[in-house]
Amino acid sequence: MNKPLLTVCSLFAAILAVCSDHPAVHVEPTDSVGPRALEKRTEAAVIRDYLQAWRSLSGAFEKNRADLLDPDFTGTAKEKLTATIKEQLKLGIRTRYLDGAHDLQLVFYSPEGLSIQLIDTVEYDMQILDHKTVVTTQHVRERYVVVLTPTEVRWKVRVFQGQPG
Amino acid sequence: MKSRLTFLLGGLALAAMPLALAQPGGLRLPKTLEAGSALSIQSSGRGPAVLYIVGHGQVLKRKVQLGETTLFSPGDLHSAGRYLAVLVGGPSTEKSEFDVTAAHHPGALSFLAKPSRLPVDLHDGISGVVYVFDAFQNLILATTPVSFQLSGAAGAMQTRTVLTHNGVAWTKMNSAAKEGTAQFVARAGDAMNTRVIQQVPGNPCRLRMSARPSGERLTLETEPVCDCRGNSMPDGTIVSFTETYDGSESTVDVPLKGGVARTDMPAYSGARISVATGVFIGNEIRWRKQR
């Protein structure tokens, strides 16, 4: 009698997992991040702002709107992502990025507190659309090296770069 | 939720395509490529196709002929990261992932030196952080030596070489014993960046004044005010002279000029006069009218 109930529950849980908009986030414990101690509140703010940056990035790439990057990206990262979106627009391409899981490790906090570096092993689904046709969908697992810098109200992504392995 | 469902439905639709269409094998390209280098992609089959190269760093699209080699010139693919190459031709779609890594030669340094102004003789008072980029603004993740050099008109040159870890190197340096401008230079390969650090005198270490009568008044004058290393305090530093007499107190604040502070105060016999700058207190004079 319990078996059908278990099956239904499992199915329901699977559907919920698929339909959830929030990626699974795991943060490696950080004993030391170099020359400056990292307060828990700073760590939480950095992670919150970084995950928000992924949401902005997804929206910007899907809608081909570079302005959506403004609140969360700056410097080199913003310039490069903006250039990619312009290329997409020119070629009639859109890309959907859906981050499913982040495995984060904060690795460096600079002595004056003006930059923080993290490594993110992220799993995401990527869908390429040429005009309105879906070209392909791919599940990708990639390591990112990310540098964030503080601004008036939040941490912004300054370097956002995938690396092999 | 909507976006996840879109993916789910999109994935199901693609999965429903005949299996033969998704068979890989015809797309040959390197797994790793250095940013800025040429790339050739070999495909199999015949007929027209479209090749997509898609990543966060760049998007390229080319019309190609199946069975021919598609060439990308040096510099075409310059942004580091993971890319998906997709070849769509006739009924088939082939795809393959590959990585573009940063070039090995440093092309630019992001150098942050703090603070830009600090007191002399401070141990580990200056910090320098360098992120090393290639000519395409990719962070070079391979270990790279960075040399830091702090030099000025006064004091010995300090040099350190630090290896980058995940593209970043940092160090701390001492400020010199003598005031003045110092050049803080970071170098990696041919890339170099300089910051200017102002080293200013520390807290005053010696404050002495003398008094001489001038009619009904006293002329008070300090000796040159210096820090513990003998650096003169900058002009404009406020020196306070305080005279206490018969239960009342009066204070005159005077800026340093030419390294000394000078003022007049009433010459009350029995008055006590003290001098201070900031929290540092100098000598005290008890004035007696000479007969």
The full set of domain ranges for chain B reads: 2-101, 108-200, 204-286
| pLDDT at residue number B218 | 94
Q: How far is A161 from chain B (nearest CA, A)?
A: 6
Q: Considering only residues 20 to 39 of chain A, which have any Cβ-Cβ distance to chain B shorter than 8 Å?
A: 20-21, 34-35
The residue of chain B nearest to residue A87, with distances taken between CA atoms, is: B59
Other C-beta atoms closer than 10 Å to the C-beta of B144 total: 21
Residue length of chain B: 291
Residue A21 pairs in a beta bridge with none
DSSP code string of B48-74: EEEEEEE-SS-EEEEEEETTSEEEE-T
- pLDDT 10s digit of each residue in chain B, 291 long? 555 555 544 444 444 333 333 334 578 899 999 999 999 999 888 899 999 999 999 999 999 999 999 999 999 999 999 999 999 987 788 999 999 999 999 999 999 999 999 999 999 999 999 999 999 999 999 999 999 999 987 668 999 999 999 999 999 999 998 899 999 999 999 999 999 999 999 989 889 999 999 888 999 999 999 998 889 999 999 999 999 999 999 999 999 999 999 999 999 999 999 999 988 999 999 998 765
The C-alpha atoms of residue A63 and residue A76 are separated, in whole angstroms, by 21
Q: Tell me how far apart the alpha carbons of residues B266 and B117 are, in angstroms, rounded to a whole number.
A: 40
Alpha helices, DSSP H only, in chain B? 2-15
A25-69: pLDDT as tens digits = 999 987 778 888 899 999 999 999 999 999 999 999 999 999 999
Which whole number is the average pLDDT over A89-108?
96
Q: Does B224 sit behind a cis peptide bond, omega within 30 degrees of 0 on the bond before it? A: no
What is the per-residue burial (b if ≥16 Cβ within 10 Å, else e) of B189-223? bebebebebebebbebeebebebeeeeeebebbbe
Pure H helices in chain A:
2-19, 40-63, 75-91
Residue B172: closest C-alpha in chain A:
A111
Q: Is B7 on the interface with A (CB under 8 A)?
A: yes
Instruction: Return the CATH number of B108-200, one of 3.40.50.300, 2.60.40.1180, 2.60.40.10, 3.40.50.150.
Output: 2.60.40.10
Question: Could you tell me the pTM of the whole model?
Answer: 0.82
Tell me the C-alpha distance between B131 and B128, whole Å: 10
Chain B segment 39-68 residues within 8 A of A by beta carbon are 50, 52, 54-61
Please give the Cα distance from B235 to B201 (Å, whole number).
Answer: 11
Of A77 and B1, the structure prediction assigns the larger pLDDT to A77
Instruction: Determine the distance in angstroms separating the CA of A1 from the nearest CA of chain B, rounded to an integer.
Output: 31
pLDDT, position A8: 45
For domain B2-101, give its CATH number from 2.60.40.2950, 1.20.1560.10, 1.10.540.10, 3.40.50.720. 2.60.40.2950
pLDDT at A163 over 80: yes
ipTM of the complex, rounded to two decimals: 0.86
In the block, which residue shows the tokens 């495909």?
B43
Strand arrangement of the beta sheet that strand A93-109 belongs to: A24-27, A93-109, A116-130, A133-150, A155-163
Give yes or no for B133 touching A (CB within 8 A).
Answer: yes
Query: Nearest-CA neighbor of A96 among B85, B3, B39, B283?
Result: B3
Nearest to B7 among A81, A98, A110 (CB): A98
Q: What is the pLDDT of residue A12?
A: 43
User: Looking at domain B204-286, what is its CATH homologous superfamily?
Assistant: Immunoglobulins (2.60.40.10)
Domains, chain A, ordered by start: 23-163 (3.10.450.240)
Mean pLDDT of all residues belonging to chain A: 89
